[in-house]
Structures are given as structure tokens and as C-alpha cells.
């Protein structure tokens, strides 16, 4: 890291279930739902540059939400993002990159924005890009966030499940978030609202996993490959669900390992996005 650059870490986020809530103002748009933030995440470094550019894992990249963030902050910067998480598989990498960029750019360029203002910038950028509706606000909070009301901090309402746990995950492929969100989401949202009511009534990890499994099936988002893995984890007494929106299965404890898979492992992240020391 150079003397005039700044760095931030943003936890990954897997969503178990959600409902879509549209609005003309992207800060008021978003989703309700719940998921897990992860100790694996995205580290973002921002430094001044004559021309805006970005790389992801040492390769040139273009993430629309990041570009929109820099435009909103009115800065020219080079953004370097690093992650061990799979991209396009339901881990909130786009949202993490956008949020990390806002935090690091705010310090690098002395933009003078508050935390909530920066979260709002990143959230609106993600909504505009069509790459996420609730990842940013969840990643800003950390833990096991429950999104009770949609939107950026000025409008949303968050709670959480007060637990920490080991998490295993297995990625089977990619899925386009924007393709799903641009389609008819009425049925998906109807199911998501029902599952949120149940989780609020019983805010436990067991309930989160149960309603997440039901959501994927009832919203017709399960693929045969994901369904097969979920069934095998359930057969050995494990708790697993499908990450929204991606071809990824996540499990609590050692559910995937017990079912004979060789998953990646991490744990829930105890805090939200943070700036890192120089």
C-alpha cells in the first residue's frame, strides 16, 4: 500500500432468502431477507490516479457498481480488489467491492462522508447496476443480519441472529444476479416475505437455514445439482441452503464435509466492513 492509498475489508455475504422491493429512488429500493456475513471477504485498496481503473485478483476488471461509486464521490482512482471467494456465485463480491471502494476512497480523498452516507452510495450503485439489492447493507453490519426493511441506512431497518458459527461452502457454478432480478420476481418476493415472518418469530440459525431451504424450492430457484447436494447434507443430519443468487451451497458446522464433500471453510464475521490500518 502506498502512502496516499487506503485499504478496506468487507466480509462476503450469502443470502438465504429475500424479497424484492422496487422504488424510483435507489436508496429506498432493495430487499428484505437474511443471510450470513463471512470471515472470507474482499480487500479493496484505492489510490489516486489520472484515470479511473480497476483490477480484481491482479487481473483487469470492470465492476459497474465500483465505477458508479467513484463517479458519485467525484474522484479518479485506481482500485485493487483481492478475494478468495468465487465471483458470480452468490457471495456478494460486487457489493463488497463497491462498499470497500467507498470506505477507502473517502479516506484517500478526504471526501468527508459519514459511514451511513458511504453505505448509501455503495447500496445505490449496486441497485443501479442490477447486481444486488441487500448485500451492501448486510456487509456493513456484519454477523447474521436480518433485513427487516429495504434500502440504504436512512430508510432500512436491520436486526440479526445473535450467533456465530463455522460455515462450509461448495460452489458448483455461476448465475447472473441481474438476469434473475430483471425477470418476474412476484412469486419469489411473496415467498420471501413469508419466510421473513417466520425468522422474526424465531430468530435462530436453525430457523434461518430451514426457511432458506424452503425458499429456494418454493421460489423455483433450485437447480438439480444444488438440490442433490442439499439432500445429501440433510441425509447426514446437516443444515445447508442455497446461496442467493448463485450455484452455491452453504452449510453450518461440518454438514458438507460429513456428506463427503471437500468444501471451503470459514466462519461468520463478527463485524461489518472496516478500514484497515496503514
Distance CA 95, CA 144 (A): 17
| pLDDT exceeds 60 at position 2 | no
Tell me the pLDDT of the chain averaged across its residues.
Answer: 96
Q: What is the pLDDT of residue 1?
A: 58
Cell of 46: 484505492
Does an H or E element contain 172, and which? strand 166-173
Q: Spell out the domains of the chain, with CATH numbers in brackets.
A: 1-278 (3.30.230.120)
User: 35-44, 55-64, 173-182: which has the minimum mean pLDDT?
Assistant: 173-182
Average pLDDT over residues 241-252: 94
Average pLDDT over residues 14-36: 97
Pairing, β 59-60 against β 77-83: unpaired
Please give the model's pTM, rounded to 2 decimal places.
0.95
Distance CA 200, CA 210 (A): 13
Amino acid at each position: 500500500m502506498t502512502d496516499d492509498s487506503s485499504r478496506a475489508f468487507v466480509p462476503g455475504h450469502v443470502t438465504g432468502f429475500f424479497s424484492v422491493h422496487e422504488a424510483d429512488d435507489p436508496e429506498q429500493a432493495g430487499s428484505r431477507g437474511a443471510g450470513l456475513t463471512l470471515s472470507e471477504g474482499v480487500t479493496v485498496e484505492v489510490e489516486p490516479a489520472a484515470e479511473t481503473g480497476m483490477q480484481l485478483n491482479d487481473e483487469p476488471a470492470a465492476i459497474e457498481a465500483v465505477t458508479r461509486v467513484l463517479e458519485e464521490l467525484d474522484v479518479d482512482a485506481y482500485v485493487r480488489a483481492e478475494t478468495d471467494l468465487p465471483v458470480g456465485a452468490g457471495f456478494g463480491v460486487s457489493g463488497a467491492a463497491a462498499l470497500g471502494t467507498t470506505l477507502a476512497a473517502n479516506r484517500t480523498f478526504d471526501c468527508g462522508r459519514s459511514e451511513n452516507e458511504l453505505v448509501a452510495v455503495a447500496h445505490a450503485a449496486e441497485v443501479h447496476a442490477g447486481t444486488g439489492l441487500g448485500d451492501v447493507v448486510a456487509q456493513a453490519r456484519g454477523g447474521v443480519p436480518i433485513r427487516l426493511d429495504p434500502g440504504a441506512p436512512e430508510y432500512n431497518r436491520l436486526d440479526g441472529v445473535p450467533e456465530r458459527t463455522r460455515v462450509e461452502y461448495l460452489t458448483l457454478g455461476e448465475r447472473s444476479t441481474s438476469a434473475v432480478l430483471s425477470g418476474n420476481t412476484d412469486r419469489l418476493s411473496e415467498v420471501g416475505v413469508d419466510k421473513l415472518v417466520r425468522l422474526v418469530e424465531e430468530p435462530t440459525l436453525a430457523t434461518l437455514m430451514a426457511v432458506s431451504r424452503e425458499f429456494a424450492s418454493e421460489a423455483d430457484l433450485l437447480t438439480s445439482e444444488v438440490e442433490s447436494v442439499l439432500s445429501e447434507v440433510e441425509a447426514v443430519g446437516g443444515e445447508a441452503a442455497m446461496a442467493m443468487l448463485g450455484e452455491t451451497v452453504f452449510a453450518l458446522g461440518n454438514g458438507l464435509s460429513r456428506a463427503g464433500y471437500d468444501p471451503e471453510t470459514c466462519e461468520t464475521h463478527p463485524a461489518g466492513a472496516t478500514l484497515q490500518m496503514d
